[in-house]
Structure 1
């Protein structure tokens, strides 16, 4: 007997389908629909926790550094520790949901996130803060795939699915900007510690909603098996690559340490792929990757991570260093980006059933690239309205157009038993893509700034001009990456909409 999520929430079918001609069944279906959207609200809140935590601490770092007394060189580890824990354990986190139940793993991830955030807010020294951030990353790696797979399995109807991914994708992409605003507010009016404490009540609310709304299925008597060799290899490989990328920011791409870490990571990840073809119960079944639409969608999501991370990081630097903005002002400056992204996500959800997915993805990525090109015109003595706002709006529209359809295409057609690990791939693509992009383009910024200063009298004016040259170069490269990624993704994604490219069956209960 098989049952899909729609049935679990809607009750028994009428004589002629889910509602049939029985008028008594109609209120039940309306109630089930309301319940599904309430579930989405809980899952979206959890996704907001994950997305904003990648940036919420950024604007709080100077205050934390002053109070705890760690060096500027150590400051990067507050960010890197989270990225390492999150990126390295995502595939295992996704598989745990498939094996032990996504609802249970979702709650476990929320609990871990709340505990880690409380520890980070109470940190009395640098080691405790770094450990708490790493634990946040590990908890996020458990939570994120469970949340996304629950969205995928809860919304089986094509029209609802498109709208649900529009909401979820908008929050996923815009949460980083919300984190900047929230972190700036907390730091300015309370304490840097509240940029971490704020996660605790949000996680408690999400957990309460999950306990009330989600249906917890009974586990079978068979003890699930975990591919521990595969889990070790993929975690080690991703850790090595992300760590190597982080070293490139400080040591350069040609340093022995950078090359060794990245090279070792690539070798270990290759060994992981080789083992997955041989073990009986693989951590990442290769059947999940054997789909060109999913490959193209994951490519676009990875490139979106580059665009988002680069925009948040370098526009924050530009506004604080060149425009003189404080933490709260910088957070507010990203609000138009969020608004444009959310509006565009709603438009893409409406278009999803009528316009081919690859067309939406291509147009969205090219629009985002146009926003990056506007940022290449940033002047030293710029203003927000004339020089920052246009790029924010265009980039926000572009990302909002393609991120939700890409997420929907990346998770559609996956067997229910692989939904968790398939969802983890979405986060792996965005996180690793963003980390690699920031590392590579940080080196571009440094190189361009050094070239600009060569032969110049080094003073405040020349340093400002050099910094702007670096940011312009980074945004030019980002525009090229987005445009090239859009073309490649469009070539890979099959023609038609996500809904029309797969037969969505609603199994009946025997």
Structure 2
């Protein structure tokens, strides 16, 4: 018989959603305020790019280890440790007097995010065992995640007016509140010593180094290109380390990632959905500010405010979506969200050097919000449908890894297309704003491939209704189709 649901679970949802909001916001807030940071600290263009890249690199590289540690050491412990480290990293970033301290602070934040994100998802999975309630919880979580990325642009624009350091200082009181909330609300989860298998050291090492190499190879393409020795070396290392990790897991008595998880249809479908959604969302949050500021001449604050329709659309649609999932299953929500994102891309690839906010940017940002909600809420509902108390952290980490790799790869491909097309047009004598617009058209066009795969996934793999999580003893049973 399953345990009674925690009566404090809705307050737990508020706490962990706020933590996810902070993590998502800090992933995008630096994009808008980057020029001010560069001027004040004297960063090179490459150094400025690594202010964002270090966060993504360590976040993505350490997620599997963070998820496994959440299962082994306790979800609340990992959540608290991550929040404390994230807050410390924010203090270091806000007080940075040079590029070295800022880069170290962003690295610390990336490590902390890799602890927080899988802990957040696993806390939600175990706090909401009922499928209907879990869908509602993920509705809130997905909305907060999307709004965090959107508000990162808004807050970044506003912060530019008063000083970029406040973007990091604001995390400090939030971090203190989150620590207090977790101690008061989140139940301590400590696996009994006799039931806790030893950590798979070889698997942890090869997974972390392999994922870090893969993410490094992807993000370094914006600095060096796809054929640079550093890029090729990183991809080669990943090509050796990740298969070695898989081989270790198959023979390990206590694997970092139980191979049986990857035989669950729900985990595979949810992971692919996260990868494809990340591959679209991160490039959009990069390309749109570039277009608004460098082509249309928007100020950073005006650029941030242009994302208000994205936030409003998410807040309007999110409360309705769990009911749709309960009635029709995940396919309608995911395919519908993807279709709206395709419409958004059609508008984006047709923008010119002069565009009205009301007829062009408003539809783009509103469609982005509605479409992302459909995908961001549905994929974790599907991916965690069969997660158990024993593996919730690992399953959550797998979903997060997919999202991070998809986002990094989608951004790398889009940026490469933008750079090549813009350079080619400028070389033919095309005006700078027209050349950049042409580059943005090609960058956005690369995202249609992600959307085609996303539609295929939705029609073929997302079916049925969310299933109740199985008990740990039922691990060997045929997985419920989703």
TM-score class normalised by the smaller sequence: over 0.9
Find the counterpart in structure 2 of residue 472 from structure 1: 441
C-alpha separation in 2, matches of 1:209 and 1:390: 38
Alpha-carbon offset, residue 254 of structure 1:
2.4
Select the residue among 275, 291, 296 that pairs with 1:323.
296
C-alpha separation in 2, matches of 1:440 and 1:387: 24
Find the counterpart in structure 1 of residue 460 from structure 2: 491
Find the counterpart in structure 2 of residue 402 from structure 1: 375
Q: Does 1:300 align with 2:273?
A: yes
**Superposition map of 1:230-269 within 5 A:** 230-269=203-242
Question: What TM-score, normalized by structure 2, do the two folds share?
Answer: 0.94
Task: Give a deviation string over 1:472-496, Cα, whole Å, max 9, x none.
Answer: 1111221331132221243123x31
Q: Does 1:204 align with 2:176?
A: yes
Select the residue among 30, 40, 46 that pairs with 1:57.
30
Aligned residues between the structures: 472
Higher mean displacement: 38-47 or 289-298: 289-298
- Could you tell me whether the CA contact under 8 Å between 2:129 and 2:469 is conserved in 1? no
Alpha-carbon offset, residue 252 of structure 1:
1.6
Distance of aligned partners of 1:295 and 1:473 in 2 relative to their CA distance in 1, 3 Å threshold = same
Alpha-carbon offset, residue 39 of structure 1:
0.9
C-alpha separation in 1, matches of 2:388 and 2:128: 15
Q: Does 1:164 align with 2:133?
A: no
Higher mean displacement: 415-424 or 447-456: 447-456
- Could you tell me whether the CA contact under 8 Å between 1:341 and 1:401 is conserved in 2? no
Alpha-carbon offset, residue 506 of structure 1:
12
- Could you tell me whether the CA contact under 8 Å between 1:156 and 1:504 is conserved in 2? no
Task: Give a deviation string over 1:20-39, Cα, whole Å, max 9, x none.
Answer: xxxxxxxxxxxx2xx21111
C-alpha separation in 1, matches of 2:31 and 2:466: 37
- Could you tell me whether the CA contact under 8 Å between 1:347 and 1:401 is conserved in 2? no
**Superposition map of 1:9-24 within 5 A:** 9=6
What 5-or-longer segments of structure 2 have no aligned partner? Answer: 474-482
Higher mean displacement: 176-185 or 213-222: 213-222
- Could you tell me whether the CA contact under 8 Å between 1:117 and 1:200 is conserved in 2? yes
Find the counterpart in structure 2 of residue 450 from structure 1: 423
C-alpha separation in 1, matches of 2:49 and 2:258: 35
Distance of aligned partners of 1:260 and 1:201 in 2 relative to their CA distance in 1, 3 Å threshold = same
Higher mean displacement: 395-404 or 311-320: 395-404
Distance of aligned partners of 1:205 and 1:274 in 2 relative to their CA distance in 1, 3 Å threshold = same
Task: Give a deviation string over 1:159-205, Cα, whole Å, max 9, x none.
Answer: 2111111010111222111111122222212x111111111111111
Find the counterpart in structure 1 of residue 250 from structure 2: 277
- Could you tell me whether the CA contact under 8 Å between 1:299 and 1:489 is conserved in 2? no
Q: Does 1:127 align with 2:95?
A: no
Higher mean displacement: 114-123 or 288-297: 288-297
What 5-or-longer segments of structure 1 have no aligned partner? Answer: 10-31
RMSD: 1.8
Question: What TM-score, normalized by structure 1, do the two folds share?
Answer: 0.89
Task: Give a deviation string over 1:104-139, Cα, whole Å, max 9, x none.
Answer: 111111111111111111111111110110000000
- Could you tell me whether the CA contact under 8 Å between 2:341 and 2:367 is conserved in 1? yes
- Could you tell me whether the CA contact under 8 Å between 1:86 and 1:141 is conserved in 2? yes
Find the counterpart in structure 2 of residue 358 from structure 1: 331
C-alpha separation in 2, matches of 1:311 and 1:112: 29
Alpha-carbon offset, residue 503 of structure 1:
6.5
Task: Give a deviation string over 1:399-448, Cα, whole Å, max 9, x none.
Answer: 11122121111011122211001001111111111011111111011122
SS in structure 2 of the partner of residue 351 of structure 1: helix
**Superposition map of 1:49-198 within 5 A:** 49-189=22-162, 191-198=163-170
